[in-house]
Structure 1
Amino acid sequence: MLRFMPVGDSTTIGSAGDHTWRYRVWQHLRDTYGGPFRIVGPRETLYDKAADAPVSYDYADPDFPRAHLAGWGEGWCHMAPLIADAVRSCRADVLLVSLGLIDLGFYTDAEQTAENVRAFVANAREANPRIHMVLLPVTPNVRATTDAAFAAEVARFNELLAKAAADLDEPRSPLLLASPDPAYDIHHDTYDGTHPNANGEHRIAAAFAEAMYQAWGLGEPYEPR
C-alpha cells in the first residue's frame, strides 16, 4: 500500500469551507491508481480564520482522508525539522510538497530557502531512504504584481528548486519537480490573489498527478471533476 503525505503551507492546509487540493488528489488517485493507497499525515484540520488557528474540520466534503502535514504560515524552514518524525510515524512513501511562498514572503531569501529544501530532503530520507518526493515550484501571488524584488526572489528560488531536484534525485529515492499549470491565473484560480479556489485546487492537483503519471506511470492523466 502506498502512503501519500501532502506537505505545505496555507494553500495546502486550506481554510474552513474549502475542499483543498488534497481532496482533489485523493479523488484522482481513488479513481485512477488501481491499487491500495492511503493519505497520511500527523494533522487533519483546516485553518479557522475567525479563531486564527488550525482548529476547523469544516471541509466542503469531509468524507475523505484528511491527513496532512501543512500549516497556515509555515514553510520549508518550519517543515524541514518536522518531516523526519512525520515520515517515520506515518510510514509515508510519497511526499507531495507545495512550499516556499511563505518563506520568501516573510522568513528567508531564495538561497536560504533552497538550503532548507535540501535539509528537508535529507531529513525525509533519514526516516525513509526510499521516500519518493514531488516538489511544486512556487506560484507567484498577488504581491509579485507590485513588488518587483519579491517577484525576483520567487523566480530565483524556482531556479534553485529545479537545481536541487536535479542534484538530489536518486534511483532509490526519486525527486520530481512538478510543472505548474501555465494557465494558472491568480485572478481566476484564487479567491484572494494567493489561496486557490476550486479551479486552483484542480490545477494544483493536476500538477502533482501529471508528474507522478509521466515519471512513474502512477495513475492516469488528470481529469477535473
Structure 2
Amino acid sequence: MHRTPHSSPYLRVMPVLGLMAALLLLGLTPAPRATAAPAADPVRVMPLGDSITGSPGCWRAVLWNRLVDSGHKDIDFVGTLPPQGCGQAHDGDNEGHGGELVTNVADRDLLPGRLAATRPDIVVMHFGTNDVWSNIAPDRILAAYTELVAQMRASNPDMRILVAQLIPMNPSSCAACAQRVADFNATIPGWARATGTDRSPVTVVDQWTGFSTATDTYDGVHPNASGDDKIAARWFPALAAALDAGVPQDPGDPGDPGEDPAACTARFRAVSSWQGGYQGEVTVTNTSASAISGWTATVLPADGARLTQLWNGSLTTAADGTATVRNAPWNGALAPGASATFGFVASVPATAGAPAATVTCTGKAPAG
C-alpha cells in the first residue's frame, strides 16, 4: 500500500533533527523548557490534647472553616487520629486522645513518635483537663508541658506553640474541679513567659474567661455547639497571627523583601470602666533585633464586648467581635524595643465581667 510522506515517523523526526544540528553548528542551543516554581508546602497545624480536642472536638471544624473563609487556604491540620464527623467539611486530622493525661504523655514519651509522623509547624494545645480532674499538682502538669515543648523543638526548632488556659470544668462528680482549673490556669502565663523564645514562641490563649459550663458544655466538661464556637473564636486570632507570620524559610531562601515577619508582642490593659462599657489600651512592642515598618494587632474582647471607637490605628471588626487594628501612618515604624500604643472604647453586655481581651500582633520588616 502506498504511504504518503506524512505517515512516515522518520520524515516527521528528520526536520527536527536537522534544525537542532543547524543550531549546534551555529553555536546555539535550544532554550530550556520553562518549569513552574514549586508550590510552597502548607503550614502544618497539630491540634493537641484530650477528648476536648478530639472526641469529637468540633471546635476544630469551626476553626478550620473560619481560617479558610478568612483567606488561610494553604494550611494542613495534622495528627495521627482521623476526623470524627462534626457535620461540616473540614480537615479533621488531630492529636486529641480521649482520656489522656498530659503527665502520662510526658512520662511515657508518647509525643516524639506522633511529631515524627506528622511534622507540625504549629501546635495548638488544650491539654491537662484529665490531670486537673485527677488532682495532679499544677507544678507537675507544668513540668509535663515543659517536656512536651522540648520535644516539639527537637522535632522543629522553629515550632510555634499556642497553649490554652483550660476551659472551665464543673462535673457533678468533682466538686473541687472548678477551682482546680482556675488555680492551674493562673500558673500558665508565667510558665509561658519563662518557656517561650524568640525562635519558638509560646503564646497563651485564654479559653477560660467568658466560658460557661452551664451553657457551653453538655456535661460540665465537654463543649456543646456554643462552646465549640467560643473555643474556635479564641484560637482564631492567635493562630491566624502565627499563620500570617509564615513558616520560617529554608537557608538561602529568605522570601520577598519587605514581607518577612518581625517579632512583636501586644499587651492589653483596662484604663477605666463604667456600666455598659470600658476604655482599653493595647501596647505593641517590637521584640525583634531589627526595625519594623508596620504592625497589625488583633483584639478579641471577652464576654461579647465590641470595640466602638479606636484611635492611633485603623480598625476592622469581624462578625464575632474580633478586631484587627493596623498601625496609623505615624506609629508603624518601630526600632528594636520600641512601642506604640492605641486606645479604644468597647461596649459590653450587662452580664459581662471585668474588662479582658486576648491580644496578639505581627510586625512587618522594612523593604531591603
Q: With structure 2 as the length reference, what TM-score do the two structures score?
A: 0.52
Deviation at 1:64, TM superposition (A): 2.1
Deviation at 1:141, TM superposition (A): 1.1
Counterpart for residue 141 of structure 1:
169
Give CA deviations for 1:129-179 in whole Å, capped at 9, x if unaligned. 11111011122211499734x444323321222121111111111110002
Counterpart for residue 96 of structure 2:
70
Deviation at 1:76, TM superposition (A): 1.3
Counterpart for residue 253 of structure 2:
none
Query: Of the candidates 82, 87, 105, which is equivalent to residue 133 of structure 2?
Result: 105
Q: Is the 8 A contact 2:61 2:86 kept in 1?
A: no
Q: Is the 8 A contact 1:110 1:154 kept in 2?
A: no
Q: Which of the two has greater helix per residue? A: 1
Query: Of the candidates 182, 186, 204, which is equivalent to residue 209 of structure 2?
Result: 182
Q: Answer yes or no: is 1:198 the counterpart of 2:225.
A: yes
Counterpart for residue 50 of structure 1:
none
In 2, Cα distance between equivalents of 1:215 and 1:128: 15
Q: Is the 8 A contact 2:83 2:91 kept in 1?
A: no
Q: Is the 8 A contact 2:54 2:98 kept in 1?
A: yes
- Percent identical residues: 26
CA separation of 1:146 and 1:44: change in aligned 2, threshold 3 A? closer
Counterpart for residue 47 of structure 2:
6
Higher relative contact order (CA 8 A, sep 6+): 1
Counterpart for residue 160 of structure 2:
132
CA separation of 1:26 and 1:214: change in aligned 2, threshold 3 A? closer
In 2, Cα distance between equivalents of 1:203 and 1:134: 16
CA separation of 1:34 and 1:22: change in aligned 2, threshold 3 A? closer
Deviates more, 1:179-188 or 1:123-132: 179-188
Query: Of the candidates 77, 95, 100, which is equivalent to residue 123 of structure 2?
Result: 95
Deviation at 1:187, TM superposition (A): 1.0
Query: Of the candidates 28, 33, 40, which is equivalent to residue 66 of structure 2?
Result: 28
CA separation of 1:183 and 1:153: change in aligned 2, threshold 3 A? closer
AA at the equivalent of 1:84? P
Alignment of 1:52-63 (within 5 A): 59-61=85-87, 63=89
- Please state whether the residue corresponding to 2:47 is helix, strand or coil: strand
Counterpart for residue 49 of structure 1:
none
In 2, Cα distance between equivalents of 1:4 and 1:95: 6
Deviation at 1:203, TM superposition (A): 0.7
CA separation of 1:77 and 1:133: change in aligned 2, threshold 3 A? same
In 2, Cα distance between equivalents of 1:161 and 1:200: 21
Deviation at 1:45, TM superposition (A): 4.9
In 2, Cα distance between equivalents of 1:121 and 1:138: 17
Q: With structure 1 as the length reference, what TM-score do the two structures score?
A: 0.82
Q: Is the 8 A contact 2:165 2:208 kept in 1?
A: no
Q: CA RMSD in A?
A: 2.6
Deviation at 1:37, TM superposition (A): 0.9
The alignment of Structure 1 onto Structure 2 pairs a total of residues equal to 208
AA at the equivalent of 2:110? L
User: Unmatched 5+ residue regions in structure 2?
Assistant: 1-41, 247-297, 299-316, 321-368
- Please state whether the residue corresponding to 2:166 is helix, strand or coil: coil
Give CA deviations for 1:192-217 in whole Å, capped at 9, x if unaligned. 11111111001111111122346775
Q: Which of the two has greater strand per residue? A: 2
Q: Is the 8 A contact 2:166 2:208 kept in 1?
A: no
Deviation at 1:107, TM superposition (A): 6.2
